[in-house]
Amino acid sequence: MTSSLPTDSYLFLTGEDAESADWPVTPFPEYTDDHLHQFVDHLWAACNGELVSGISALSSAGLYTLVVVMARVAGLGNQPPMVHRPVGAQLPAAVPELLAELRRRDRPDVGDGPAGPVRRGRLLRLVGGFTSLSQLGSTTHQRQKLSGACPFCDDAASFQVSLPAVTWRCFGCERSGGRREFAECLLTRALAHSAAPGHP
Ligand SMILES: [Zn+2]
């Protein structure tokens, strides 16, 4: 039988329980440039080049792919920026709409299902697009955490993902949350970047 542990169960694990606890992650593919460009081409055709009008029709996976597209277009992350001038031009109008849609979907009755490998995989897929994560160490406690550079304050090692809780936290800038909060931080930063003088 497959067990489905509550998200806070790691707090109560002791001794052998803790030693045997692992936190499986569903492996989702990385976001590649090809994938992102393909997605934008489809979206552009579907919404007749009016990004704002296309947002509410997207699936949840599509919304998060659009988050990655916007962040990459704004030059965030450790990879070369994605070049897509129409997306760049519509970013200031589309970001508030996308933020509102993410919040609307992030309710227990509308959301993406219970905690588990799939949720962990989705969080790691999004976070992994903007920072490289590695296991904190080899103890049971450390194996439950992944760490890396913070994509928001650029502190080299203060960013951590907790697999049991399916959350992240930066001990440098005190930002924290789940997948939606990470998307919100990205979009807020993307908006600031696109408003900065000198941005194409
Ligand atoms: Zn930070």
In terms of residue numbers, what domain contains 66? 33-110+180-195
Q: State in Å: Cα 149 to ligand 1 middle.
A: 8
Q: State in Å: Cα 146 to ligand 1 middle.
A: 15
Please report which residue ranges of the chain form alpha helices under DSSP H: 15-20, 33-46, 51-54, 60-73, 85-105, 117-128, 140-143, 179-195
Does residue 104 sit in the same domain as residue 189? yes
Q: How many domains does the chain have?
A: 2
**Low-confidence residues in the chain, pLDDT < 50:** 1-3, 14-20, 200
Does residue 186 sit in the same domain as residue 174? no
Does residue 54 sit in the same domain as residue 135? no
Check if the beta carbon of residue 58 is closer than 8 Å to that of residue 70. Answer: no
Does residue 169 sit in the same domain as residue 187? no
63 part of a folded domain: yes
Q: Torsion angle of alpha carbons 120, 126, 130, 135, nearest 10°?
A: 10
Burial 161-194, CB ≥16 within 10 A → b, else e:
bbbbbbbbbbebeebbebbbebbbbbbebbbebb
Q: State in Å: Cα 76 to ligand 1 middle.
A: 14
37 part of a folded domain: yes
Rounded to 5°, the CA angle 117-189-118 comes to: 5
5 part of a folded domain: no
Q: State in Å: Cα 87 to ligand 1 middle.
A: 27
* Predicted pLDDT of residue 171: 96
161 part of a folded domain: yes
176-177/145-148 β-pairing: unpaired
* Predicted pLDDT of residue 196: 72
Looking at beta carbons, which pairs linking 96-100 to residues 24 or more positions away fall under 8 Å? 97/52, 97/55, 98/55, 98/63, 98/66, 98/67, 98/70, 98/187, 99/184, 99/187
Q: State in Å: Cα 17 to ligand 1 middle.
A: 32
Does residue 50 sit in the same domain as residue 65? yes
Tell me, what CATH number does 124's domain have? 3.90.580.10
65 part of a folded domain: yes
Q: State in Å: Cα 136 to ligand 1 middle.
A: 17
For residues 40 and 45, give the distance between their C-alpha atoms in angstroms, rounded to a whole number: 9
Does residue 184 sit in the same domain as residue 94? yes
* Predicted pLDDT of residue 193: 87
* Predicted pLDDT of residue 138: 85
8 part of a folded domain: no
Q: What is the pTM of this model?
A: 0.85
* Predicted pLDDT of residue 39: 96
Q: State in Å: Cα 60 to ligand 1 middle.
A: 26
Does residue 44 sit in the same domain as residue 90? yes
